[in-house]
Structure 1
Amino acid sequence: MRPRALMFDLYGEYFRYNGGAAKLGALTELMGVFGIEPATVRVVMTRLRKEGWFDSTKSGREVSYLLNDKSWRLLDNGRARIFERHFDEWDRTWTQALIDETALDRPQRARIEKALSWWGFGGFGGPVWFSPHDREKQLREELTGADELRIQFLRSKTADLASDGLIAQRCWDLGGLGADYQAFIEEFRPRLARYRRGLGGSAALVEQMRLMQHYRRYPFRDPDLPETLLPPGWRGRAAHEVFTECHDLLRAEAEPFVAAVTAQTAKGA
C-alpha cells in the first residue's frame, strides 16, 4: 500500500470524525503497523503539507497535522463516490458535459477530464461526455475559474431506450467493469466468515485499508447506470454489498485500536 494513499485513508476513516487533526506520533505508530518507517511518514506529511493538503501546528516538539478546506473536500467527495451509490429509478434524463476545446492546453484538458471521470461521466467522443445523474453542481465546485468556464451542461433525452443503451456501451467499459466486480466478490466474500470471528485490532486495520484501496478503483469507473442499461447478470450491486459488510465488520474492530494508539501517543507527548 502506498504511504500517501494510506494516509488519506486513515484520515478519511478515523481522524475526520475526531476534529480532523492527528499528532505525528500517532500517525507514525499507525503507519508502523503497515511496515512504513517513521522517516517515510515524516517525509510524506511534509510533502502533503507543502502541497496544501494539510495544515500543521506545533506544541513543544510535537507536530500535529490538520485537515483543511482542500483535504476536507477531497475526503467528502471521495466518500460520497465510494459509499453513496445510486441504484434508484432513472427518468431517462442524461446530463451532457460539452467541453469548449478552443485553445485548450494539455494540462487544462487533463484536469477537466479527470474531474469528469471522478464524478462518473463517460466520454462519448471528442468534447462530449455523458452521465445518467445530475452532477453539474459538483463539477462546478471542483472546476473553478477558467476550467469551469470551459464546460457547458445540457439535459437531454433520447428517442428510445435502445439509443440510451448505445450511449452506455460507448461511454463505459461495462464488460470489463462487470468482470472486475465478479473478481472482487470471489476474493472478499469468502473472507466474511473470518471477519465476523474477528482478526484483532491491528490486523483488522490492515485488512480494512487493503479493502478500501482495492474497492475504490471501481466506483470511479462506474456511472451507476439504471438496471435497464446494464448487461445481464450485472454484479455491481452485489459487489457493493460485500464491500460494505466487510468494511463495517473491519472498522468496528479497528476503531478501538486506532483510538487506543491515538490516546497512548497523546499521553506520552
Structure 2
Amino acid sequence: MKARSLVFDLFGDYLRYRGGEARLRGLISLLACFGIPEATARVAVTRLRKEGWLSATKQGRETVFALTDTAWQMLDEGRERIFRRSTGPWDGQWHMVIYQVPETERALRERLRKQLAWVGFGPLSSSVWVSPHDRTGQVRQAFAEDPAVQLDVFHSRSEDIASDRAIAARCWDLATLDADYAGFLDDYRPRLSTYRRDPPEGADALVERMRLIHDYRRFPFHDPDLPPELLPEGWRGRRAHELFLEAHGLLRAPAEAAVTDLVNGSAKTP
C-alpha cells in the first residue's frame, strides 16, 4: 500500500469522523503503522497539497491538513461504488453513451473511457458504451467543460433477455471477474472466522482493515454492478461484497480506537 492512497483512505474512513482534519505528526504516526518512513510521509503530503487534494492551515507551531472539496467529492464517489450495490429488479432498459473525441486528444479519450468504466459502463464497441444503470448524468457532468468531448445519449431495450445477457458478456469479462472474486473469498473467509472470534487490536486492526479495503476496492473499477438478470449462474460477487461488509464492520471498533490513540500521540508505532 502506497503512502498516497493511504492518506486518502485514512481521511475517508477515519479522519472524516474526527473533524475531517489531522495534524502532520498525526498523519506521520498513522502512516508509520504501514511501514511508511517519516520522510516518505512528508513528501506524500506535500505532493497532495501541491496537486490540490489537501489544504493546510497553521495552528500555533503545527500544520493541520484537510482534504479539499474536490478530494472529498472523489472519495464520496468511490465510497458509493465500494459500499453500495444495486438491489431490486432491472427495468430492462439499457443506457447508451456514444462519444466523439478528436484523434489528437488521446489523453482526453482515455480519461473519458476510465470515467465510463468507473461509473459502470462497458464498451459495446470502441465509442459506444452501455450500462443497465442510468448514470449518464455523471458522465455528462464530468466532461461538461470539455468542448472537445461530444456525447450522445440513448435509452433503449434489446430484443429479449437472452440478447441482454449476450450484451453483458460482450461488454465485460465476467468470467475473469468472477474468478477474482473467488480468490478474494478464499483469502478472506479464514480471516473472517478469526475476526468473529478474536479480532486484532491496536495498529494491527487498523492495518488489517486498511488491507481489506485495499484488496476489495479494485473490484468496483471492473464490476459494473449488473442486475441479477444479467449475471452468470453461481456469481460470487454478491458473496464477496457481503463478506467485505461484515469484515469491515467487525474491524471497525479496534481500528478506530487505534486511530484515536495514534492521532492523540498516546500509542507507539512500530
Q: How high is the TM-score relative to the length of structure 2? A: 0.94
**Counterpart for residue 222 of structure 2:** 221
**Counterpart for residue 27 of structure 1:** 27
Seen in structure 2, the aligned counterparts of structure 1 residues 104 and 89 have a Cα distance that, compared at 3 Å, is: farther
**Counterpart for residue 207 of structure 1:** 208
Q: For 2:53 and 2:62, locate their aligned partners in 1 and report how far apart those are by CA, in whole Å.
A: 19
Q: Are the equivalent residues in 2 in contact too, given 1:108–1:147 (CA < 8 A)? A: no
* Residue type of the alignment partner of 2:95: T
Deviation of 1:14 after TM superposition, in Å, equals 0.7
Q: For 1:133 and 1:95, locate their aligned partners in 2 and report how far apart those are by CA, in whole Å.
A: 7
Q: Deviations over 1:91-124 (max 9, x none)?
A: 1111111111345511110110111111111111
Q: Deviations over 1:219-259 (max 9, x none)?
A: 22111112121111100100000100111111221001111
**Counterpart for residue 130 of structure 1:** 130
**Counterpart for residue 242 of structure 2:** 241
Q: Are the equivalent residues in 2 in contact too, given 1:140–1:148 (CA < 8 A)? A: no
**Counterpart for residue 263 of structure 1:** 264
* Equivalent residue pairs, number: 265
Q: For 2:117 and 2:256, locate their aligned partners in 1 and report how far apart those are by CA, in whole Å.
A: 32
**Counterpart for residue 120 of structure 1:** 120
* Residue type of the alignment partner of 1:171: C
Q: Are the equivalent residues in 2 in contact too, given 1:101–1:127 (CA < 8 A)? A: no
Matched, 1:162 2:156: no
Q: For 2:210 and 2:245, locate their aligned partners in 1 and report how far apart those are by CA, in whole Å.
A: 13
**Counterpart for residue 79 of structure 2:** 79
* Residue type of the alignment partner of 2:42: R
Give 3-state SS (helix, strand or coil) of 1:146's partner: coil
Q: For 1:247 and 1:147, locate their aligned partners in 2 and report how far apart those are by CA, in whole Å.
A: 42
Deviation of 1:7 after TM superposition, in Å, equals 1.1
Q: Percent identity?
A: 49
Q: For 1:219 and 1:146, locate their aligned partners in 2 and report how far apart those are by CA, in whole Å.
A: 25
Q: Are the equivalent residues in 1 in contact too, given 2:90–2:229 (CA < 8 A)? A: no
Q: For 2:22 and 2:202, locate their aligned partners in 1 and report how far apart those are by CA, in whole Å.
A: 19
Q: Which runs of 5+ in 2 are unaligned?
A: none
RMSD over aligned Cα, in angstroms?
Answer: 1.5
Q: For 1:12 and 1:257, locate their aligned partners in 2 and report how far apart those are by CA, in whole Å.
A: 16
**Counterpart for residue 106 of structure 1:** 106
Q: How high is the TM-score relative to the length of structure 1? A: 0.94
**Counterpart for residue 174 of structure 1:** 174
**Counterpart for residue 38 of structure 2:** 38
Deviation of 1:264 after TM superposition, in Å, equals 3.1
Q: Are the equivalent residues in 1 in contact too, given 2:122–2:171 (CA < 8 A)? A: yes
Seen in structure 2, the aligned counterparts of structure 1 residues 161 and 104 have a Cα distance that, compared at 3 Å, is: farther
Q: Are the equivalent residues in 2 in contact too, given 1:95–1:153 (CA < 8 A)? A: yes
Deviation of 1:193 after TM superposition, in Å, equals 2.1
Seen in structure 2, the aligned counterparts of structure 1 residues 142 and 240 have a Cα distance that, compared at 3 Å, is: same
